[in-house]
Structure 1
Amino acid sequence: MKALIVEDEQSIAKLIGVNLKAIGIDYDMANTGNDAISAIENNQYDLFVLDRMLPDLSGVQICQYIRNTKKLKSVGILFVTALTSSESIIEGLDAGADDYITKPFDIGILKARVSSLKRRVEGHRDSSPINNKNTYNHMGIKVDVDGVKTIIDDKEIKLTVSEFKILCVLISSPGKVFTRKQIVDLIKGENIYVTDRTVDTHVFALRKKLGSKSKVVETVRGIGYRVKSEE
Structure 2
Amino acid sequence: MPMDLSAQIDRLRTPGYRRSVLLRRLAAAALVLAAALHVLLSAARADPLTLTFARDVAPGTTLTADDVVLARLPAQAVPRGALSDPALAEGQVLAAAAAEGEVVTSVRLVGPDLAAALTAGAAEGEEFSMVPVPLAEPGIIPMLHHGAVVDVVGQGPRTVASGGRVVTVADEGTALVLLRQPEALAVAAAALSEPLTLVLSKRSTPFSIP
TM-score by length of 2: 0.31
| Higher RCO (CA < 8 A, seq sep 6+) | 2
Normalized per residue, which structure has more helix? 1
Q: Which has the larger radius of gyration?
A: 2
